[in-house]
Structure 1
Amino acid sequence: MGVSLNKIYLIDTETTGGDPNEVIEVAWALFNPNNDPVVHVQRYQPAGEMKLGATVVHGILPEELESCPPSAEAVSFIPLEPGDFIVAHNVDFDYEVIGSPRDVRCIDTLGISQYLWPEIDCHKQLAVLYHLFGYERWLRDLAKDAHSAEADVRMLHLLATQIVQRQEIKSGGQFFNFSHHARTHPKQIAWGKHRGKYLFSTDESEAVPGDYLEYMLKQDLNPYTRQAFMNALAWRENAGGDHN
Structure 2
Amino acid sequence: MSDEPWSPPAVLIAVDLVILTLRAAELHVLLVERGIEPYEGAQALPGGFLNNAGEDIPDAARRELQEEASLDTSRLHLEQLGAYGLPGRDPRGRVVSVAYLAIAPGLPDPAAGTDAADASWKPVEGILSGHRKLAFDHRQIVTDGVERARSKLEHSALATAFCDRTFTISELQQVYEAVWGVRLDPRNFYRKVQGVPGFIVPAGPDRRSTKGRPARLFQAGPRNVLHPPLIRPDSSTTNEGDR
What TM bracket, shorter-length normalisation?
under 0.3
Provide TM-score, normalisation by structure 1: 0.28
* TM superposition score normalised by structure 2: 0.28
Structure with the higher fraction of residues in helix conformation: 1
Query: Greater share of strand residues, 1 or 2?
Result: 2
Larger Rg: 2
